[in-house]
Amino acid sequence: MARPSPARLNMFFRTIFLIALVLAIAVGGGAASVWYALKAPEGFGALRAGPWTAFPDLGTPQAEPYSKARTARDGILTLGRAEGLSFTAQTDSAGAPLDLRCIYQITGDTPAARFWTLYAANAALTPLASGHQRPAALHSMQLLRQPDNSMVITAGRPAAPGNWLPVTGTGPFALVLTLYDTPAASSAETRETDLPRIERGFCADA
């Protein structure tokens, strides 16, 4: 039996290499696209209002597959449209990532809701500890209002007068605003003026 020529062997191994390369690109690219879709703060069905993002269909049968996968992976307890709507902000109103070294002013108002909560969270949206024997959270029943009924909340490590959302640590973080029993959950549009602005103040070096 004649042995294959070196040229045939080179062509055979080149073909095997190209097939393996194509499969690696296909599998790797597919996995990367799924990972990005699951990690992206925006995506299918996202509702944007300034720095805030919500997924109104997340707790409904109309939720698209990537949102369902994200919910299952992170163990998120979702709200139906009749129950409420949760908004997440990972940047301030200027588009800069939220940083625990900085102080932020959260000003304005929220859409009409029977009750709302605001808390600071890490990248996985797990609530942060305040470090001051109090939760890193506020709710609408404890809020001090301005004379025009608007709100001013200070989020940061140093103690602040009025409405203070204490946080600890360094690195990026997120703000989660959840509206319960709100018409915004069933509305197709949410205007930027309906949600508070997030403005960065002083930032410490460490």
Query: Which of helix, strand or coil describes residue 6?
Result: helix
The correct answer on CATH 2.60.120.600 for the domain covering 45-203 is yes
Tokens of 65: 């597959």
If you compute the radius of gyration of the chain from its CA atoms, what whole number of angstroms results? Answer: 24
Buried b (16+ CB within 10 A) or exposed e, 90-120: bbbbeeeebbbebbbbbbbebbebeebbbbb
pTM for this entry: 0.70
Residues in the chain: 206
Summarised one tens digit per residue, pLDDT across range 73-95 is 554 555 555 567 889 999 999 99
Summarised one tens digit per residue, pLDDT across range 9-23 is 677 667 877 788 787
Q: List C-alpha distances in Å: 191 to 15, 130, 195.
A: 56, 31, 8
